[in-house]
Amino acid sequence: MPQLPILSGAEVVKTLERGGYRIVRQRGSHIRLASPARPQWPVTVPRHKTIGRGLLRKIIQDAELSVEEFLDLLQK
């Protein structure tokens, strides 16, 4: 499994938007995104300067993406 980079919250949001997710709401420093395919299961991303690898892995899992798929979206 490839090692995940340390990204900012804004970079994670942009990457998920490339994967079809849209911002549903923002409350404080947390952004909630939803996919049209599963709007009842939103993904929450903290808008922090850095997001640790463990939290990033959980966000990827919540978005039902593989690490490889996420890294491909990040490269686009």
User: What pLDDT does residue 59 have?
Assistant: 97
pLDDT, block means (10 residues), the chain with 76 residues: 89 96 95 91 95 96 95 93
pTM of the full predicted structure? 0.90
Judge contact between 32 and 21, C-beta under 8 A: no
Residue with tokens 């990204």: 7
User: What pLDDT does residue 17 have?
Assistant: 96
Residue 60 CB-density burial (10 A; 0-12 exposed, 13-18 middle, 19+ buried): buried
Angle at 15 between CA 10 and CA 74, to 5 degrees: 115
What CATH architecture does domain 9-75 belong to? 2-Layer Sandwich (3.30)
